[in-house]
Amino acid sequence: MLSRKKDILTYLVKQDTPLSAQEIALAMELNRANVSRYLNDLHKEGHIEKRSGRPVLYQAKSRSSALPELTTQQEAFHKLVGYNASLKVMIQQAKAAVLYPPRGLHTIIFGETGTGKTLFAECMYQFALESQVLSKDAPFVSFNCADYAQNPQLLFGHIFGVKKGSYTGATEDRAGLMHQADGGILFLDEIHRLPPEGQEMLFTFIDKGVYRPLGESNQTQTASVQIIGATTENSEVLLDTFNRRIPMAITLPPLAERTIEERYELVAAFLQQEAQRLNQKIVIEREVLLAFMLYPAKANIGQVQRDLKLVCAKAFLHYRTHQTDYLRSTQQDLPLAVQKGLLLVKEAPERLNQLVDRHKSHFSFVPMSQKIAINENVESDMSVYNAIEERVEEALKMGLLKEIELEGFIQNNLPHYFNDYLEKLSISDIHQELIPIDIRKVTEKLYDFAEKKLERTYPSKSRFAFSLHLQSAIERIKEKRPIVHPDLNSVRKNYSKEFQVAIDLSAMIEQQFGIDIPFDEIGFITMFLTLEAQEPEKAAVNQVGVMVIMHGKSTASSMLETAQDLLDTKVGVALNMPLTVKVKEMYETVRQAIVANKTLYEHGLLLLTDMGSLNAFGGMLAQELGLAVRTLSMTSTPIVLEAIRMASIGRQLEDIYQNCRMAMTLEESINEPFQEEKQPALIVSCFTGEGVAKRVENRLEKVMDTTHLTIIPLQFLQLEKMKQQIDQLAEQYTIKAIIGTVPVDYQNIPYYTAYEAFDRKKMVEIKNQVEEWPLDKISQTLTGTLKEVGSISRLVENLQQVIQQLEVDLYLVLPIEVKVGLVLHLAFLMESMKNGKEVRTFSDKENYLMKHPLIVKKLSELLIPLEEDYQLSIPQDEQAYLIQMIVENQLTN
Amino acid sequence: MSKKTIMLVCSAGMSTSLLVTKMEKVAAERGIDSEIFAVSASDADNNIESKSVDVLLLGPQVRFMKAQFEKKLDGKGIPLEVINMQDYGMMNGEKVLDQALRLIDEAK
């Protein structure tokens, strides 16, 4: 028996390529089942490597006797694409962190989603093993802090351990990850999700090497662990905290900053890996390769890999159902977002042609024995293929479907396997955190169901809005508060199809949450289902005619063409008036053009002209033909664009006219300040006026100064009614913006989705849009007091711009009072600089500035023009004080 | 009526000194016996010790120091508030004086 095993090992050592059990059994004339058993034993004993795939392949580990040693010292980082280019500096940092005596430096890795932080940390561990900083059996413990983020206590206990009796259910002492990682590395992904207590304890450990398990009050514990943290977060506050406490910071570049060579290598390596995994050749069209190398991938390498995986899965499906010789992929198989990469070929660097041979139309990836590490997690990565395989077999067994139908059948279901990542792409952290997982899951289920039934698709934003609504509806029902839909009957009548589906959905919700859904709530659900259907339906019906008439051979037609092309519409008619044509003749041409197509102008005509006598046509046409006509002269392309856009979505003549006119005056007098005595207000709206709207309101209250801003929740039932309500409110308030679940495009009031209100960057934008600065009052007070700084109102305006720019660039959320205070402070500061007053010092300035590199850089950039303008310089100590006021005063949520 | 000591704190004590002038004027008009002064954040500590301050007002741009000061004033019975943004922006001496007097009153 023993000799058989040895024989197999000897045989394997001689082989260059990995083999399956079947192949080995054949070659050695042995029973396959026995061979499998020996192979498993050998694998357990660590003599051979097992390569998961179809079929499973085996290879001897110690091929060193036959081949030169591949794994020489310190190879760990070489498997990273770009190790000697974009990642060179980071790898030097990482090596330094690992080798730093006695036990390495604690490290934090910054980088956007999908830049490879986890893999990088794993490489650091490998490197530590290779360089013998860690012993061979040193642990690498990896944990994602987001996993228990909902339960800080659990999270703390999981990392630091639990003392018996610290809470009900803690019946015995339990060791945490820190203990498990003793002598090795603890990798904490999404470290910013650690609750404050956890962070404190972690920092204590970093400073002193000791920690305390949950519920332990006396004894501290020690562990020899190198911490590697990772975070996608890049807000100044977090950067600060971590930079201050964790000695080594490594920032991985986003995909867009990688070289084109690296991008090629990433794509090629991944395809190679898939070929390996499936043990089959993959052939792709030149376009596929180009698209993957060029398309903008928001979620970086991770996204490219997922999209590649999707394409490979499609290819695999075709390969399985059509029994072709190898896997192939063409441009048509690509997701649209990836195909769009082809639009960027012209802008790509010259080097692209060297990488992707211009004369080759196809590129092949053939399985080889070489090992490539992109994602080590081979087992789980087979799951997609396995799932496809199972479905194919299942369906074939039933004999119900022909091959071709089968492919379509499975392809339709394929997206489900990718739900996870689609979800990750569309919903950012804050959104996920906001909504409990069960609500999110149900929402997905409901929408998938509704999409199928109603044969339409809903964007992820409306799903998000619905899940917010659902959450509050459930709360309401549980608390037995009434739900009343004011217009249930007309909803039922006008949207009977959606209403039917809403009933089905309610049944699903009832079952899931064990509640009774009242009839009125079904009305609200119906309205969510009609969300996307509302605007366009109206559009086609009463369109206003738009006519562009201008002097010159082709001025009108080319202007209109531009607008039509941009909007992808055919709305609008252009009439050119060459200079040789008399005005009278031209009028006749216009008149006939209208008469010939009278139905086009039933709902009114908007004339867009350039100058002179053309402006008079409107009145004459109105009289002669009995039409409603409005004329806008001195038209420019943006105005044509706006007119066409509004006409194509069915806006009324008067509405379009007023909007365009406003746009024109705006263009003219962009700098004229707008005087308004009314109180500013913000409308938040949703179907109930209580669900989503309330949540948005709560969110806004945290960051806005509500003593000077009124937040008005409105119930949205019908667009028309909503407009009336807005009109009424407008008498009393200046409506600064509308935030809600249904887009409202009215009176040029900026609209933001509920989704955006939870996005930090967007929030800063909304906030700046809404906030009213008492600028003229500030100027009034300062006039006469400040004498060295010229026009006070100009100074105050300049200062306001600096502060606002700072906010926008750094996603800072500062209370308006602080901003006003800062403006005043700066104004006085500049005056005293002018007067040559002595400078005060900021203690420990260098250290403080070092901790806030981003703000320091941005602030000094923004101050430079100001300093030049006013011929003074703001000393570093004063800048440090400014930074302190900004950093310490910002709202973190 | 005893003398009221009002201390204003901002980053450098510059912008608040204008406010002090305005508050003093109003106080004089009303015949209120008061001492009003502005200091920079770093000088605040000394003054709390050396003068018997009745109330402390913070400029909005240093509102982050509120917690710090609350700790320092803990047990001393000295009330503390951030100056209202509008009043600060307008350097409205009257309103801010009212705010200070109200706080002193409430603390009694």
**Quick one: what percent of chain A has pLDDT higher than 70?**
86
Whole-number pLDDT of residue A428: 41
Between helix A383-398 and helix A300-322 the angle, nearest 10°, is 20
Position with higher pLDDT, A313 vs A263: A263
CB contact at 8 A, B96 and B83: yes
- Report ipTM (2 d.p.): 0.87
CB contact at 8 A, A219 and A163: no
Range of the domain at B21: 4-107
Contact B60 A821 (CB under 8 A): yes
CA-nearest residue of chain B to A705?
A: B85
Which residues from A are below 8 Å from B88, CB to CB?
817, 820-821, 824
CB contact at 8 A, A580 and A606: no
Position with higher pLDDT, A385 vs A756: A756
Instruction: Count how many Cα atoms sit within 13 Å of the Cα of residue A832 in the half-sphere of its side chain.
Output: 18
Radius of gyration of chain A (CA): 33
Closest C-alpha to A201, from A162, A172, A165: A162
Token pair in block for residue A363: 């590129």
Over 50: is that where the pLDDT of A69 sits?
no
Position with higher pLDDT, A706 vs A851: A851
The Cα A819–Cα A633 span in angstroms is 42
Whole-number pLDDT of residue A28: 78
Sheet of strand B55-58, all strands in order from the earlier edge strand to the far edge? B34-40, B4-10, B55-58, B80-82
Which residues from A are below 8 Å from B87, CB to CB?
none
Which residues from B are below 8 Å from A817, CB to CB?
60, 63, 82, 84-85, 88
**Mutation for A interface: B15, B39, B68, B94, most A CBs within 10 A:** B15
Most confident of A42-46, A63-67, A626-630, A673-677: A626-630
CA-nearest residue of chain B to A824?
A: B15
Any catalytic annotation for residue B10?
yes
CA distances from A740 to A76, A383, A465 (A): 50, 40, 9
CA distances from A689 to A311, A697, A740, A745, B74 (A): 43, 10, 10, 18, 44
Q: How far is B89 from chain A (nearest CA, A)?
A: 5
Whole-number pLDDT of residue A392: 65
CB contact at 8 A, A492 and A520: no
Q: What confidence category does residue A414 fall into, taking pLDDT thresholds of 50, 70 and 90?
A: very low
Whole-number pLDDT of residue B36: 92
Over 50: is that where the pLDDT of A140 sits?
yes
The Cα B57–Cα A222 span in angstroms is 47
Whole-number pLDDT of residue A789: 83
The Cα A135–Cα A263 span in angstroms is 35
The Cα A434–Cα A470 span in angstroms is 13
Which residues from B are below 8 Å from A780, CB to CB?
90
Contact A817 B85 (CB under 8 A): yes
Q: What confidence category does residue A109 fall into, taking pLDDT thresholds of 50, 70 and 90?
A: very high
**From A446-455, A616-625, A816-825, the region with the lowest mean pLDDT:** A616-625
CB contact at 8 A, A531 and A451: no
- Using alpha carbons only, what angle is made at residue A370 by residues A366 and A375, rounded to the nearest 5 degrees? 90
- What is the rounded average pLDDT of the residues A775-791? 81
Partners of B8 in beta bridges: B38, B57
- What is the rounded average pLDDT of the residues A260-276? 89
Which residues from B are below 8 Å from A885, CB to CB?
11, 61-62, 64
Over 60: is that where the pLDDT of A731 sits?
yes
Sheet of strand A679-686, all strands in order from the earlier edge strand to the far edge? A710-715, A679-686, A733-740, A751-753
Looking at the structure of chain B, the number of domains it has is: 1
Whole-number pLDDT of residue A400: 47
Whole-number pLDDT of residue A398: 57
Q: Which of A820, A827, A829 sits opposite B88 (nearest CB)?
A: A820
Catalytic position from the list B7, B8, B9, B10: B10
List the CATH number of the domain containing B103.
3.40.50.2300
Residue/partner pairs of A650-657 with CB below 8 Å, 24 or more apart: A650/A538, A650/A539, A650/A540, A650/A541, A650/A542, A650/A543, A651/A544, A652/A542, A652/A544, A652/A603, A652/A604, A653/A544, A653/A603, A653/A604, A653/A605, A653/A606, A653/A628, A654/A630, A656/A544, A656/A606, A656/A630, A657/A606, A657/A630, A657/A632
Which residues from B are below 8 Å from A800, CB to CB?
none
**Torsion from C-alpha of A48, A52, A57, A61, nearest 10 degrees:** -20
CA-nearest residue of chain A to B68?
A: A888
Over 80: is that where the pLDDT of A532 sits?
no
Per residue in B10-59, pLDDT tens?
888 788 888 999 899 999 999 889 999 998 888 888 888 787 889 999 99
Over 70: is that where the pLDDT of B94 sits?
yes
Please spell the DSSP secondary structure of A30-93, one letter per residue. Answer: --HHHHHHHHHHHHHTTSEEEE-SSS-EEEES-GGGTS--SS-SS-GGGGSTTTTTTTHHHHHH
Q: How far is A146 from chain B (nearest CA, A)?
A: 29
Backbone angles phi, psi at A378, to 5 degrees: -65, -45
Contact B60 A705 (CB under 8 A): no
Per residue in A241-264, pLDDT tens?
777 888 888 999 999 999 989 999
Q: What 3 state SS string does A754-778 have?
A: CCHHHCHHHHHHHHHHHCCCCHHHH
CB contact at 8 A, B25 and B17: no
The Cα A476–Cα A521 span in angstroms is 11
- What is the rounded average pLDDT of the residues A142-156? 83
Per residue in A415-432, pLDDT tens?
444 444 334 333 344 455
- What is the rounded average pLDDT of the residues A129-142? 90
Contact A777 B11 (CB under 8 A): no
Over 80: is that where the pLDDT of A708 sits?
no
The Cα A170–Cα A871 span in angstroms is 67
Over 50: is that where the pLDDT of A299 sits?
yes
On average, the pLDDT of chain A sits at 80
Q: How far is B1 from chain A (nearest CA, A)?
A: 31
Per residue in A554-600, pLDDT tens?
889 888 988 887 777 788 999 998 888 888 888 888 998 898 888 88
Closest C-alpha to B35, from B10, B7, B74, B16: B7
Q: Which residues of B touch A (CB under 8 A)?
A: 10-12, 14-15, 18, 40, 42, 59-65, 82, 84-86, 88-91
Token pair in block for residue B86: 């509008």
